[in-house]
Amino acid sequence: MAAMLICLVLPVLCALCFSTPAIAASQLSNSISNSPRSPSAAGWSWQTWGPYRPNLYFGVRPQVTDTLLMGLMWASGENRQRMLTTLRDTCEQDDGMQGYGWEFYDTRTGGSQVIHDTQLHLDLATNFLKSKDGKNWAVRIVGTPKKGTTDVKTTIILHTAVEKEISDGSKSLVCENKSKSKTGVEATCLGDIAALGKFELQVLGDERNNILQDVVVNSVRVPEEEIWQAKAVFTDQVKSAGGDQMTVKDASGDGNMHFVQMTFQGPFKLTFTYRVPDTPTLDANAVDKGIDSLRSSFSTTLDTVFPRAPPFHLEKYAGFSQAILSNLLGGLGFFHGDSKVDYSNASEYQETDLDFWTKAASAMSHAQITTTSPQTLLSFTPSRPFFPRGFLWDEGFHLLPVVEWDLDLAVSVLQSWLNLMDDDGWIGREQILGPEARSRVPPQFQTQYPHYANPPTLSLIVPIIISKLTGASPYTGHPSVYISSPDQASILLKAIFPLLARHYDWFRRTQPGNFTAYPRPPSSIAGTGFRWRGRTPEHTLTSGLDDYPRANPPHPGELHLDALAWVGASASALQQVAHHLGDAASAQTYASHVKNVKHNLDALHWDPNRNTYCDSTIQEGKYTHICREGYLPLFPLLLGLMDAEHPNLPALLDLMSNPDKLWSPYGLRSLSKSDEGYGRGENYWRGAIWVNLNVLAVLRLKVIGSSQSGPQAVRTKASKLAADLRKRLVETVYESWEQTGFFWEQYSDTTGEGRRSRAFTGWTAAVILLMGLQFGDGAKEGRETSDASGGVMMSLVGALAFPIVVVAVIPALRKKVLGAVAGVVYSVLTWSRARRGGRGYEEVIDLDEYEP
């Protein structure tokens, strides 16, 4: 598939590069002739460069630490005052955008982002393209005034910074204003950074541009902690230039930050291009051709990897599907920096006393916070404006679609996360690396605690990777070195196995339920029961389900259903890796863990009177279930720990399909409509529809529905539910996107509208996995059916090599719809302003108050 893509794009590109001599190559070829310090070919790949600063509307950096940062800013070009008040830099929730995002984007090649800046009457495209060898890249910035406003004035600022330039005297970047040159080159910078080698940056104009203010190049040297603050530094420079000037001083030369500013009236085009010595420049033509070609090849490729089955085969879903995947991929960030950790391991953190949360809070308020040494992370991000950093709880869900599209990219991200693990096995649940990331988080939420866990969602992706490596599930994504080489596959699994095992051991060791001090049901297995640390009366942030109701007050004798289920899912993933590596003893150990987990899910957490799965606590000295219907009781099913024969499955199907409980016209509610906490309090995980768990529900139900054993009625009902839920969920996300131009963090169970954070193309993107699912004839799907009972026999999906590998069912369906889809239609989007909100701590504190 990637072969197709590359063949389509790159011949055009390369032909162009060679036939049109790069504009300034002749001028500079002497000064940047091949350097012995250039990285070896092996050091470069399609992954090296990318828009890996997703917190910016557009920002590029390589996956090489302490090198180069690049970004784009723009503002009104009317006058100085207006310029200073409309400067766009980081993605914000409320700066008058009517939507922004990637129309199509592939990490390996590039793509096109469109930003609808209504306030400035401008549509801005950032067309980013990489050369085939991954060494060079360029971004073409195309400004188009909105209809009826052709004389709109816009100032564009391209900025670039050298990291650690002051402390490492061998790095250099020198810029020059070239505005009077006849070559179309407006500015040039020559750089030399050991980890990158020598390179050249150029800003290329366009003869059709109506230039209001000639190019200005401003080179400065600022303290290291300021180089990511382009907006602040630029603003200071403009102010220090004085007068009523709208621009920085023309003062080019060497420095660790460089600004290239130009002001246009009407439409404009500008190209910013990076190249290494002795290679052709990706100039305007090359980018235009490459992007045009990618525009058509991308949709074809997408329809191969994520085919759309009825009713989503309609053309109107093509742009939707593209936008989902592109914005998930476009949220990939590369992060580097120190973080804040409380290593005090205060005795209160054992959380053994009855009022453990007040004691822990008090200990935390006195604890010494450590600033760690810098760490590096390649991660997808939940939302560019609101959560532009890594979250462990989200990442496993991000990787579900990514692994289908580009297995090697998913592996890189998985490994990057596993490499964060400390010797104990801990991975911080929220990765706030470096001052740039920290600037978006209120101080009281910056510290990470090594006794806190988070759902180990990476274990969701491991079995799927194995199924692709073994061929148990088909793979149609980009060519994978791990699939093409059994040796590489084996090296990979050997590398991740001990890390996964260490994290698993850490989880079991640090989140145990207490089996010595409190009564437990006699049939339960001691030691196999868990408790999230970090509870307060209203929150269990560490579980990921924040305000989902649990025992109140909290009790040190609690056992949490989802924590046990996550242990089961992790043990099952480890069992499969061990099996694949031929480590029979470990495989057997993990298999016994899975068995114990399954036993205790029923022994500890099943309440036969209320017919549901529950948390447990201690009340009046007795073992007591806390049963709150919602997502929680579904966890044994969602994490693949129940099969079609399980006696408790019918009760879960009833819970899901009951309109007075979880079943809504838009998807499964997080909390039952009949629960006393429904819609109350912060109302975060108390009714709203979350896409990640709904997607898991559809996939697991489909597996149940197609299993070979188990009561026919159960299988039929599971299929029916899966089919109906699929349709409702995709429609919900689609309709909201169609109306608002955004994907959302959650959706209302009463109106279906998107809520909380917008531009949330993190795990909401997992909905793409459902579009290709097919069900047998007669499945009445969608909102027209008022409940989800009834009989439909599902046809497909016979061969599931791994019972818990749910996504494996999808590729099996692809062939059916291949070829059914052709062409690209870009949906005409209507945009509207929408509410803002938050997640986790934004509930407590309005983050906007804390933003600089």
Among 20, 514, 589, 748, binds ligand NAG (CB under 6 A): 514
Q: In angstroms, rounded to a whole number, what is the distance separating the alpha carbons of residues 428 and 370?
A: 14
58: left (phi > 0), else alpha (psi -120 to 50), else beta?
beta
- For ligand NAG, what does the binding mask look like between residues 619 and 658, x meaning CB under 6 A? ----------------------------------------
The CA-CA-CA angle for residues 633, 504, 685, to 5°, reads 30
Nearer to ligand NAG, 167 or 516 (CB): 516
Task: Using DSSP bridges, classify how beta strands 390-391 and 430-431 pair: parallel, antiparallel or unpaired.
Answer: antiparallel
Nearest to 268 by CA among 124, 80, 128, 158: 124
CB of 424 to ligand NAG, least distance (A): 5
Distance between CA atoms of residues 76 and 153, nearest Å: 6
> Which residue among 474, 512, 782, 803 contacts ligand NAG (CB under 6 A)?
512
d(CA 133, CA 41): 9
| Rounded distance between C-alpha atoms, residue 323 and residue 306, angstroms | 13
Min dist CB 511 to ligand NAG, Å, is: 10
Q: How far is the CB of 186 from ligand NAG (least distance, A)?
A: 9
Stretch that binds ligand NAG, among 117-125, 214-222, 308-316, 771-779 (CB under 6 A): 214-222
Among 3, 42, 517, 585, binds ligand NAG (CB under 6 A): 517
Cβ at position 3, least distance to ligand NAG in Å: 45
Q: How far is the CB of 502 from ligand NAG (least distance, A)?
A: 13
CB of 240 to ligand NAG, least distance (A): 16
Is residue 247 within 8 Å of 239, Cβ to Cβ? no
Taking contact as CB under 6 A, which single stretch among the options 60-68, 212-220, 773-781, 790-798 is the one that binds ligand NAG? 212-220
Q: Of 31, 119, 352, 371, which lies in the binding site for ligand NAG, with binding defined by CB under 6 A?
A: 352
- Beta carbon of residue 201, minimum distance to ligand NAG (angstroms, whole number): 16
- When the beta carbons of 429 and 700 are compared against ligand NAG, the nearer one is 429
Given candidates 147, 180, 366, 622, which one binds ligand NAG under the rule CB under 6 A? 180
Pick 450 or 630: Cβ nearer ligand NAG:
450
CB of 622 to ligand NAG, least distance (A): 16
**Which of 20, 29, 45, 179 touches ligand NAG (CB under 6 A)?**
179
Binding map of ligand NAG across residues 438-477, x = CB under 6 A, - = no contact = ------------x---------------------------
Evaluate whether 819 touches 781 at the Cβ level (below 8 Å).
Answer: no
The answer to whether 719 and 779 are in contact (CB under 8 A) is yes
Distance of alpha carbon 767 from the chain centroid: 13
Tell me the pairing of strands 667-668 and 663-664: antiparallel
Query: Helix 392-405 to helix 458-469 angle, to the nearest 10 degrees?
Result: 20
Which amino acid type is present at position 241?
A: A
- Go through the chain and tell me how many residues it has: 852
Q: Binders of ligand NAG: how many residues, by CB under 6 A?
A: 15
Among the listed ranges 496-504, 508-516, 603-611, 678-686, the one in contact with ligand NAG (CB under 6 A) is 508-516
- The amino acid at residue 394 is D
The neighbouring-strand residues paired with 585 are none
| 424 belongs to the binding site for ligand NAG (CB under 6 A) | yes
Q: Which is nearer to ligand NAG, 512 or 710 (CB)?
A: 512
648 contacts: CB under 8 Å, gap ≥ 6: 602, 606, 613, 636, 642
CA distance 202 to 73: 17
- What would the DSSP string read from start to end of 604-663? HHEETTTTEE-EEEEETTEEEEE---BSGGGHHHHTT---TT-TTHHHHHHHHH-TTTTE
- Decide whether 118 or 179 has the Cβ nearer to ligand NAG: 179
| 216 belongs to the binding site for ligand NAG (CB under 6 A) | yes
∠ CA 63-68-71 to the nearest 5 degrees?
100
- To 5 degrees, how large is the angle CA 141–CA 183–CA 130? 40
Tell me the β-bridge partners of 88. Answer: 74
* Residue 179 or 785 with smaller CB distance to ligand NAG: 179
What minimum distance in Å lies between the beta carbon of 177 and ligand NAG?
4
- DSSP string for 225-289: GGTT-HHHHHHHHHHHH-TT-SS---B-SB-SEEEEEEEEESSEEEEEEEE-TTS----HHHHHH
Identify the active-site residue in 745, 749, 842, 843. 745
Q: Exactly one of 165, 394, 546, 843 is catalytic; which is it?
A: 546
Minimum CB distance to ligand NAG smaller for 344 or for 488: 344
CB of 548 to ligand NAG, least distance (A): 23
Q: Is 546 a catalytic residue?
A: yes
Q: Of residues 19, 516, 609, 786, which one binds ligand NAG by CB under 6 A?
A: 516
Tell me which stretch binds ligand NAG (CB under 6 A): 98-106, 177-185, 678-686, 777-785. Answer: 177-185
Query: Is residue 611 near ligand NAG by the rule CB under 6 A?
Result: no
**Which helix or strand (DSSP H or E) is residue 157 part of?**
strand 153-162
Residues 228-267 as x/- pattern, contact with ligand NAG by CB under 6 A: ----------------------x-----------------
User: Which one of the spans 174-182, 363-371, 686-694, 809-817 is the region binding ligand NAG (CB under 6 A)?
Assistant: 174-182
Q: Which of 98, 177, 448, 459 touches ligand NAG by CB under 6 A? A: 177
Q: Does 505 bind ligand NAG (CB under 6 A)?
A: no
Stretch that binds ligand NAG, among 210-218, 287-295, 436-444, 764-772 (CB under 6 A): 210-218
Binding of ligand NAG by 344 (CB under 6 A): no
DSSP 65-125: SSSEEEEEEEEE-S-HHHHHHS-B-B--SSSSEEEEEEEEEETTTEEEEEEEETTTTEEEE
**Restricting to residues 359-398, which ones interact with ligand NAG according to CB under 6 A?**
none
Q: Which of 345, 358, 523, 588 binds ligand NAG (CB under 6 A)?
A: 345
Q: Give the residue with the Cβ less far from ligand NAG, 180 or 622.
A: 180
Q: Measured between alpha carbons, how far is residue 308 from residues 311, 318, 475, 700, 816 in Å?
A: 8, 8, 16, 19, 10
803: nearest Cα among 642, 656, 600, 581: 642
Name which of 166 and 212 has its Cβ closer to ligand NAG: 212
Does residue 396 contact residue 459 with C-beta atoms inside 8 Å?
yes
Placement of tokens 């005795």 in the chain = 347
Burial call 608-630: b when 16+ CB within 10 Å, e when fewer = eeeebbbbbbbeeeebbbbbbbb
Closest CA to 675 of 687, 658, 684: 687
Which H or E run contains 156?
Answer: strand 153-162
Q: How far is the CB of 187 from ligand NAG (least distance, A)?
A: 8
Helices (H), 166-229: none
Only segment of 175-183, 202-210, 657-665, 687-695 that touches ligand NAG (CB under 6 A): 175-183
Q: Which of 66, 133, 206, 214 binds ligand NAG (CB under 6 A)?
A: 214
Question: Minimum CB separation from ligand NAG for residue 356, in Å?
Answer: 9
Dihedrals phi, psi of 540, to nearest 5 degrees: -135, 70
Between 214 and 753, whose beta carbon lies closer to ligand NAG? 214
The DSSP-derived string for 356-397 is HHHHHHHHHHHPPPEEPPPEEEEE--SBTTTB-SEEHHHHHH
Binding site for ligand NAG (CB under 6 A): 177, 179-180, 214-216, 250, 345, 352, 424, 450, 512, 514, 516-517
* Residues acting as catalytic residues: 546, 745
